[in-house]
A and B are shown apart, each in its own frame.
Chain A
């Protein structure tokens, strides 16, 4: 792709450094240095005159510094690419330089090849950061991660109202003996308050909290908390209202697509709460409304190793699903139950005297007490229902009133007393779990359209308050109220008695309208569904789904919305099917996406669908085709989607471009894919609201380059992506940048960098795409293998297996197969064929093979590796078949990254089959394909068997040396260096004698030791060996000592025999 020679101008104030740089660059045939300058001003003059392709720019210079110079150059002559070369690794310099227009930032202390690589990357239109800069960005990223707290926008509006206790009414009875019990219990992990409705549970706790000085929060639970994530979001949010900077990790865990297991969540939460070092009381009110077992599992986990700082008060009508027996046994629990809570006769007296402004006979008090059995709500109802004191007597005398029906009887009495409009308000508002003035007005004035009076609603609420009619104010910024649950239930019963189904439907419809208009989408949908107006609710969802997708592409709100619709209904609605398709696509459940699309096609034709839905349908058709390996059809569908997509849908537009570029790459139109992306990037540059769009497109460039085998470019682009996505806090996209960096570095055999990126992905596994996490584990395991950290490699592969079988990874049988085959691969690398075979046998075989994409671990390919290792005639034959079958497939989809892998394995297979010429031909193909990309990993993994062939290749290419083949020769040399276990920065470790992993030894031998071993085989003496290798006999001796220890032998003969046995060297 490079044309002629790239021209470079060097700007640095140290002439010696410039000279060194010039020598270095001129060593490269495709680069020429055409000028030098010593400061910024001189540089600008020179550049205007020479118009080079590239300027390499220092930052610290006399006169105009590098940053200002870069600004001038990039505004005046934007075509010139700037590479900053500096000793500063601090973030601000990197940022300033990149903002000033530099495409690349390289540290002076990094390897010279870095600069060459940077120049080549930049000239291709991409950007490049030194690997060491990447780690700076990485560490700052980690800091950034923990700062991103409190971003459940939208959901919080609803949340706020749940986090406040009911207000105390002025006339409640102070109950010192119970307060004392609460006080005593607060040193234990849990106080459980269990009694039926109306025994004053909430009032008691509230009145205790009024005098409680430490931090406390209150969560009123309801049915929507039957979702662990939602429950925990409230929980975390409640604590954050007390300590705004706390619980960062827990909060980020909750943003995961799929939640981590409860013990992880509980441990993290406990840890983070302990870190606060302050006592907190958390009140969970109405626990009986929660039936979701995972919520109880979480709480049980919490109580297993409770935090000494956290005290729970859990209230409900019946015992929750918690390990109460053992909590009791281990004295971690204080309890207040019905018998403790009911009013004593004294308390009944006190209460009646307080609420009745007239005296009441003592005998009546005790009768009332007997009749209500200390049930406080009953007492209150009795008081409310009376007009005069005598009514109480009447009620007491009325023998027809069975105690069971006291409540209903009383509520009827209350309602009868009210004026007609107030009654209507009471009954209609009982349908809602929360209400405010405007909502009440909207609901209750449905007949006189136009003259709605919002004050009416507020008047109604204030009267409820004045009459102390079981109304609970939900505090906070919002102005929401609810009825006491018990009262609400009774009112509802009356509502159903007094209103027809049509009227009730109308109420729900009005409520849905009101909620939707005021931005409460979820309640809008919920009430729409209750009104039976599924279409309206679906419409509401359809209108809001783009916003949600864009806002936070984990889509958890969307999931919740969709889950409210009946399954059969979703199947009939294109908009809902498409919304669901987005969710599943996000979770890499592609088969299910396909099924949804088929379903959609069965209910709607292209003619009947709206344009925007049509665009999405075509998008998913394209996606399905892409993952099925049909790039041509995919491209067509995606172009259709692009044309049909209405303006302003930047999220979907970015996804369309992503797949379009991938599809083009698949059909071999790499240039069109890349050009298309560049073009789009150019159009959008400058507009602020398109950062997400630009990031997705940049990431796409990375994937296209990776699949095409261009590792250097991929790294350059990914660095840029990392920078962009970090700047815009786009977490999901950022993880893709790390993924691309990890796999690229791994194939380049830059193992430490690869590990850093993979480790970051694994650490954040719970917030990430399961397939990426699996690949990150695989990458880590491989890197550890190559670093000769065999035990670590095994451990990582076990962790992967554990991860893939967890529920939160989706329990996908394909992922489990990948995990098992990764384990097999590690065993193979360690020469343990029988264990590898066992792992492969455990894999499920009925899983269809998906597109190979960029994935590091493909079970079938590992199976081929195993067959090669087994080495029998039939197994080799089978391996060869698998390899050629897959190669056909990857070549058909222009998937170079996997083609390289497959050809290397073909080389290995042919060697084992004794087909040396065939092997050599394959090797030539492999080198030709991988040379420009810098691929090393597949060769090294194939093992020492390749060494001879590579050396043969080297000597052959030397003999017909042309400048053309010099790149290839260099690539082969790089492979050989790594294959023989001697490469920068990675010191082969001493082998653990106890472990005795034979095949590992080849990795542990350095190139020098390998050479000596070969000479030992020829029975040369130390002196002769030294003479051949130009080293002293003493050095030879020490090398031989090391060889002995690595091979676990004591003499030369044994060393040679064992090395042959282990196939480190071959028999003469």
Chain B
């Protein structure tokens, strides 16, 4: 779960791309609006910890970093950020 990128793929700095982010902790889906409109789903891990998955398309890297930064401000530790698909 700790990979920060996917190998064999490259993505440009200014192009849109589809990402999946995983954080430790529980956030309500209503936060989607302020997290780049990503879809939000929470689950319980095997050791009964709340884990939240966010996924969606970002316009560029600035938006992605904005989302990650917001998660930081919400005090949610990152588990992974992965690129799913790029254009």
Contact = CB atoms under 8 A, between A and B. Distances in A.
Given A321-B70, A339-B15, A326 B33 contact: yes
B60 A338 contact: yes
Nearest to B61: A338
A291 interface: yes
B65 A319 contact: yes
A589 interface: no
B62 A195 contact: yes
B73 A324 contact: no
Nearest to B65: A318
B60 A324 contact: no
Nearest to B33: A323
A300 interface: yes
B26 interface: no
B73 A319 contact: no
Given A293-B73, A338-B14, A339-B14, A300 B63 contact: no
B39 to A, nearest CB: 11
Contacts of A291: 69, 73
A1 interface: no
Interface string A281-295: 000000010010100
Interface residues of B, number: 21
Contact of A337 (B36, B59, B70, B73): B59
Contact of A194 (B34, B66, B67): B66
A323 B14 contact: no
A291 B73 CA distance: 7
Interface in B18-40: 32-37
A978 B70 CA distance: 61
A342 interface: yes
A301 to B, nearest CB: 12
B57 to A, nearest CB: 11
Nearest to A300: B34
A354 B14 CA distance: 27
Nearest to A296: B34
Contact of B62 (A196, A296, A300, A373): A196
Contacts of A293: 73-74
Interface residues of A, number: 26
A249 interface: no
Nearest to B13: A338
Interface string B32-72: 11111100000000000000000000011111011101100
B19 to A, nearest CB: 13
A322 B70 CA distance: 9
A727 interface: no
A547 interface: no
A324 B36 contact: yes
Interface in A295-333: 296, 300, 317-326, 328-329
Contacts of B36: 319, 324-325
A328 B14 CA distance: 18
B15 to A, nearest CB: 7
A321 B73 contact: yes
Nearest to A375: B13
Contacts of A300: 34
Contacts of A373: 13
Given A194-B66, A291-B73, A319-B67, A337 B60 contact: yes
Nearest to A195: B62
B14 A342 contact: yes
Contacts of A342: 14
A291 to B, nearest CB: 6
Contacts of A319: 36, 62-63, 65-67, 70
Secondary structure of the B side of the interface? helix
Interface in A256-304: 288, 291, 293, 296, 300
A319 B66 CA distance: 4
Contacts of B66: 194, 318-321
Nearest to A292: B73
Nearest to A293: B73
A324 B70 CA distance: 12
B34 to A, nearest CB: 5
A337 B60 CA distance: 8
A763 B34 CA distance: 33
Contacts of B35: 325
B63 A322 contact: no
B62 A324 contact: no
Nearest to A340: B14
A318 B32 contact: no
B37 A337 contact: no
A312 B73 CA distance: 23
Given A194-B63, A337-B62, A318 B69 contact: yes
Given A318-B62, A318-B65, A337 B33 contact: no
A293 B32 CA distance: 16
Interface string A783-799: 00000000000000000
A319 B60 CA distance: 10
A300 B14 CA distance: 26
Nearest to A337: B60
Interface string A672-685: 00000000000000
Nearest to A290: B73
A323 B59 contact: no
Contacts of A194: 60, 62-63, 66
Nearest to A339: B14
Interface string A1024-1040: 00000000000000000
A319 B34 CA distance: 10
A337 B70 CA distance: 19
B30 to A, nearest CB: 10
A306 to B, nearest CB: 15
A352 to B, nearest CB: 22
B73 A325 contact: no
A431 B3 CA distance: 37
Nearest to B74: A293
A556 to B, nearest CB: 24
A267 B74 CA distance: 25
Q: Which of A291, A324, A335 has the most CB of B within 10 A?
A: A324
A318 B15 contact: no
Nearest to B35: A325
Contacts of B15: 339
Contacts of B34: 296, 300, 321-325
Nearest to B68: A318
Nearest to A326: B33
A988 to B, nearest CB: 49
A317 B70 contact: no
A226 to B, nearest CB: 11
A312 B38 CA distance: 24
A319 to B, nearest CB: 3
Contacts of A320: 66
B10 to A, nearest CB: 14
Given A291-B73, A318-B69, A319-B67, A338 B37 contact: no
A633 B38 CA distance: 63
Contacts of B60: 194, 337-339
A320 B69 CA distance: 9
Contacts of B62: 194-196, 317-319, 337-338
Contacts of A322: 34
A186 B61 CA distance: 25
Contacts of B59: 335, 337
A1039 to B, nearest CB: 60
A196 to B, nearest CB: 7
A581 B24 CA distance: 39
A1054 B35 CA distance: 67
9 contacts: A319-B65, A321-B66, A324-B63, A325-B37, A326-B37, A337-B62, A338-B13, A338-B60, A338-B61
Given A318-B65, A324-B33, 8 more contacts: A195-B62, A319-B62, A321-B34, A321-B70, A322-B34, A324-B36, A338-B13, A338-B61
Interface of B: 13-15, 32-37, 59-63, 65-67, 69-70, 73-74
Q: Lowest 7 CB-CB distances: which A-B pairs, in order?
A: A319-B66, A325-B37, A323-B33, A318-B66, A338-B14, A339-B14, A318-B65
